[in-house]
A and B are shown apart, each in its own frame.
Chain A
């Protein structure tokens, strides 16, 4: 069965520190997508990134970077030089096709960035 584990429930850092959010997933499918979403205190879900299972290239977008490793079934997210505005809950998610496009979310990691 598919599963997404975010072992870190809460992380607290001081501004300008780098922080890595871990995500480990389980799936039997060879074709799947992995996502990261941000949920700021205002509550909406903001799409950050999607990777497909055939593309293990790491990605960098500004202060954000993602490390996808199929060998360890991990899709970790690093924020460099964190800022207070990065404070949010971050969700890792796995999408598969099981008769319909279905997304399984991890439990989320709450990130506090202190000034």
Chain B
């Protein structure tokens, strides 16, 4: 069973479109995250949700809107896609948002978004 699963794996779309990436975890974790990896492989956190509530929001354009219908899901919706949004987006989850010995972030396989 895949612990953190993202769909789709690849997404190719035109500039200006709206698209969503879905993430689900079956680990029973309370906390989920979205990271963006750019073309230079640089990984940066975008958002973090704990029990459906936003707890980390980095400087991300408001075209990006995460939605957490329940604590097992954290979807990422992107409006008016731009060329610079092309990247690999990783979802992750952890047991809780605390910095404890038990807490490890488990990552999904990534979604490669290409905006043409």
Chain A interface (Cβ < 8 Å from any Cβ of B): 31-33, 37, 39, 43-45, 47, 50, 52, 89, 91, 95-105, 107-108, 110
Contacts and interface: CB of A to CB of B under 8 A. Distances in A.
A51 to B, nearest CB: 11
Contact of A107 (B40, B50, B90): B40
Contact of A31 (B99, B108, B112): B99
Interface stretch (B19-27, B41-49, B64-72, B73-81): B41-49
A101 B42 CA distance: 19
A107 B42 contact: yes
Contact of A101 (B40, B88, B90, B99): B99
B109 A102 contact: no
A43 B110 CA distance: 7
5 contacts: A43-B109, A44-B109, A101-B31, A105-B42, A107-B42
Contacts of A44: 107-110
Contacts of B45: 102-104
Nearest to A107: B42
B89 to A, nearest CB: 11
A52 B101 contact: yes
A27 B41 CA distance: 22
A108 B41 contact: yes
A96 B110 contact: no
Nearest to A97: B99
B104 A50 contact: yes
B56 interface: yes
Nearest to A91: B43
Given A102-B48, A107-B40, A108-B42, A47 B104 contact: yes
